[in-house]
Amino acid sequence: MTDHGTAEQIVLGDGTVRLDRREGVATITLNRPEVLNAINADMWHGLLAAFRLVADDPADRCVVLAGEGRAFCSGADLSDSAGGRGAAGMGGSAVANMRKIAEVCLALHEVPTPVVARVHGIAAGAGLNLALAADIVIAGPDARFSEIFARRGLSVDFGGSWLLPRLVGLHRAKELVLLAETLDADEAHRIGLVNRLAPDAAALDEEVASVARRLADGPPIALAASKRLLQAGLGSSLSEALEAESNVQCVNFTTKDTAEAVSAFLEKREPRFTGR
């Protein structure tokens, strides 16, 4: 296991993605601010590499997704479409390109540790569904959200057809996708796309840092298991969910972290979880 107690930065995707690690929090930053972080081929490759790196390193105990500059992410960069073959210049056929983008989406959903999205400015299309794939979405007052695909003559992608009905219900999901309207932060929070709203940019940074710190200090094995159970629960029967919970809880009872939590409770102190 890598020790990320000191700061570390990795540049990926030819500079379009940064991975910053510090004290258990891995921040993945989309870094094309001049085009509102529109995702081109380099960024798709960089995001895939970043998600795989944090998934494979238990020292990364929380992940934060963020965008450099004035926006979170304006979606796929359609100007980078490799001769009109689609999917933001991945360089192959449209089918091959979309399979690669699906690979990026799956890699994000399979990150075992909690993921927090820090959203400011626009989050549109694949950029919105990138944010919604996080476990907790925290937005600033200037955040705007749009399933913009229909305005570009496209259908929803990057997992939006799976995510949206689960977050807001089928009819609201259809409204968001078919009308492709833009929601402000308050409306997105009201309908359940956003977990928490911050009143200004400084408060947004403070809230994201606070939530990320709490998650990074939590019991890694138990949090990863709870995340897995919740994601699987929507497609399970009650009896299947109960069986899965039972199996996971039996594993938790064998860990040092559960023993530490019990000791901390009895000693009236905060627990120190190590992921063992």
Instruction: Tell me whether residue 195 is exposed, middle or buried, using C-beta atoms within 10 angstroms of its C-beta: 0 to 12, 13 to 18, 19 or more.
Output: middle
pLDDT of residue 116: 98
Categorize the per-residue pLDDT at 91 as very low, low, confident or very high, splitting at 50, 70 and 90: low
- pLDDT at residue 53 greater than cutoff 80: yes
Going from N- to C-terminal start, the domains of the chain cover: 8-216, 220-266
pTM exceeds 0.75: yes
Mean pLDDT of the region 128-143: 98
Question: What's the whole-number average pLDDT of the chain?
Answer: 93
pLDDT of residue 7: 82
CB contact at 8 A, 152 and 163? no
* pLDDT tens track for 182-208: 999 999 999 999 999 999 999 999 999
* CA 41 – CA 60 distance, rounded (Å): 26
* pLDDT tens track for 205-252: 999 999 999 999 999 999 999 999 999 998 999 999 999 999 999 999
Mean pLDDT of the region 93-109: 93
Q: How far from the centroid of its chain's Cα atoms is residue 41's Cα?
A: 19
CATH 1.10.12 given to domain 220-266: yes
Mean pLDDT of the region 70-91: 71
pLDDT of residue 200: 94
Residues facing residue 26 across a β-bridge: 21, 63
In three state form, how does the secondary structure of the chain look? CCCCCCCEEEEEHHHCEEEEEECCEEEEEECCHHHCCCECHHHHHHHHHHHHHHHHCCCCCEEEEEECCCCCECCECHHHCCCCCCCCCCCCCHHHHHHHHHHHHHHHHCCCCCEEEEECCEEECHHHHHHHCCCEEEECCCCEEECHHHHHCCCCCCCHHHHHHHHHCHHHHHHHHHHCCEEEHHHHHHHCCCCEECCCHHHHHHHHHHHHHHHHCCCHHHHHHHHHHHHHHCCCCHHHHHHHHHHHHHHHCCCHHHHHHHHHHHCCCCCCCCCC
pLDDT of residue 104: 97
Nearest Cα to 39, choosing from 81, 72, 86, 88?
Answer: 88
pLDDT of residue 2: 54
Q: What percent of the chain has pLDDT over 90?
A: 89
pLDDT of residue 128: 98
| CATH number listed for the domain at residues 8-216 | 3.90.226.10
Identify the residue whose tokens are 């023993």: 259
- pLDDT at residue 109 greater than cutoff 60: yes
Within this chain, domains 8-216 and 220-266 share the same CATH topology? no
- pLDDT at residue 1 greater than cutoff 80: no
